[in-house]
Amino acid sequence: MQSLILPRDVIAWTGASLRFLDQTALPAEERLINTSDYRVVIEALRTLRLRGAPLIGVAAAYAAALAANEHLAETGTGFHTRLQTSLSEIASARPTAVNLFHAVDRMRGVAESYADPMQCATAMERTAAGMHEAEAQRCIAMGEAGAVLLPDEGGVVTICNTGALATGGIGTALGVIATAVRAGKRLHVYACETRPLLQGARLTMWELARLGIPATLIVDGAVPELLRRGEVRAAIAGADRIACNGDTANKIGTCAVALAAHDAGIPFYIAAPVSTIDFTAPDGGAIPIELRGPDEVRTLAGIPVAAAGCEVWNPAFDVTPHRLISAIITDCGVLTAPLMAGISRLRA
C-alpha cells in the first residue's frame, strides 16, 4: 500500500538526491520524482512540475547542489568550470522568476568561495538546505503572527495556492490558516477555483484535504453571494508584490475578493514575507502586470471553451488598493493601517 503523500512531501533532500511532488499530475495523481540529476530539476521547473515563487528558489538551490555533487568526478579546474555552466543552465529554467535568480546568485557566491571541490559541494548542499529551512521558518513566523487574527470558528475565503506547494514550507495565507486550525480554531475554508489556471481547484483543495482542514470549492464569482450568507468571517490571500503604500499585486481575482469582503464588513488579510515588498514601487500603479496568452482562457486541457480566435485580455495579476486591506501579515510581524507607515519602518 502506498503511503499517503502529504504537503510536506512537496520537496525534500534525501542526503544524495532531491525528491519532489510532480505538481502537474495533481490532483489526478500523486507522483513523486526522486533524482540526483540537476537537469531533471530544470525540466521540472520549465514544465511547472515545481512552481510557486519561493519553491522555485528552493528547488534551484537544490539543483545547484546536485550539479556540484555530479561534477566531483571532474579533475583539475574541470569541477568549477562545469559547475558554472550548470548554474547558468539552472538560472535559465524560467524567464522571470526573481526567486530563481536570487537562489542561483547565492549558490554561485558559495561556489566561488571554495577552491576544493569536495568542500564546495558540501557547502552548497548545506546552503541549499539552509535556504529551504529559512523559507520554512518565514512561513512559520507568518503563521504564528496571522493565526490570532483569524476567527475562532467560521468560514475563511482564500484564492490561488499559497501553501506548501507554493513555498516548500507551510505556506503564506494557507500557512496562517493551517496554524490557526492547529491552534484549535474551527475554520472552514472556501477556496476560489482561481481562473484561468485553477490553482485553487487543483492545488489548494488537494492540500486542504491532505491537511484534514474542511474545505469547499467555489467559482471565483461566487464570493459576494457566499458572504451574503453570513458564515464567512475573514478572507486571506498571498501576494506577488507589495508597493510602499500597501497596494498589493496578487493573482487575478484577488481584488474582487477584497471588494466583496469590504462590502460585507469582514476583514481582508494579505500574508507575504517582507521579501515581497518592492521598496522601489511607491504604489500599485508602479507594479507591472504580466499579460499572458489567450489560450489559457480560450481552451481548457486543449478543449476550446470560447469562440475560436476571439480576443482575450488575460492579466496574471491584479492590484488590490491598500484601503481594502485590513492588515499585511509578514514574517516580521503584522502591519495594520496606515500600511505605508509600517512598510516604511520595515525598510529602515
Which lies closer to a second copy via its Cβ, residue 127 or residue 162?
Answer: 162
260 interacts with a second copy by CB under 8 A: yes
Tell me how far apart the alpha carbons of residues 69 and 71 are, in angstroms, rounded to a whole number: 6
Residue 10 in contact with a second copy, rule: CB under 8 A: no
Neighbours of 181 (CB within 10 A): 21
Nearest to 141 by CA among 347, 284, 339, 329: 329
DSSP string over 79-104: HHHHHHHHHHHHHTSSSS-HHHHHHH
Q: Which of 12, 32, 312, 334 binds a second copy (CB under 8 A)?
A: 312
Stretch that binds a second copy, among 34-42, 107-115, 129-137, 301-309 (CB under 8 A): 301-309
φ, ψ at 17 (rounded to 5°): -150, 170
User: Three cell numbers at 348?
Assistant: 529602515
Pick 294 or 333: Cβ nearer a second copy: 294
Applying CB under 8 A, the span of 7-15, 66-74, 94-102, 306-314 interacting with a second copy comes to: 306-314
Q: How many residues line the site for a second copy (CB under 8 A)?
A: 58
Closest approach of a second copy to the CB of residue 47, in Å? 18
For residue 265, the Cα-to-chain-centroid distance in whole angstroms is 28
Smallest CA-to-CA distance from 93 within 124, 134, 25, 47 is with: 47
Point out the catalytic residue in the list 240, 247, 283, 295: 240
**Binder of a second copy out of 94, 108, 202, 233 (CB under 8 A):** 202
Residue 245 cell numbers, joined: 503604500
Nearer to a second copy, 61 or 160 (CB): 160
Sign, CA torsion 167/168/171/174: positive
Q: Which of residues 108-127 bind a second copy (CB under 8 A)?
A: none
Residue 49 or 108 with smaller CB distance to a second copy: 49
Query: Which residues in the 216-255 window bind a second copy by CB under 8 A?
Result: 216-226, 228, 252-255
247 given a catalytic annotation: no
DSSP string, 142-202: HHHHHHTTS-SEEEEEE-S--SHHHHSSS-SHHHHHHHHHHTT-EEEEEEE--TTTTHIII
- Using the contact rule CB under 8 A, the part of the chain among 114-122, 196-204, 235-243, 328-336 near a second copy is 196-204
Residue 103 within binding range of a second copy, rule CB under 8 A: no
Residue 294, beta-bridge partner list: none
Q: How many CB atoms lie within 10 A of CB 266?
A: 20
Task: Please say which residue, 16 or 209, places its beta carbon nearer to a second copy.
Answer: 209
List residues near a second copy by CB under 8 A: 26-28, 190, 192-196, 198, 201-202, 205-206, 209, 214-226, 228, 252-256, 259-260, 263, 289, 294, 297-298, 300-301, 303-308, 310-315, 317-319
The catalytic residues are 240
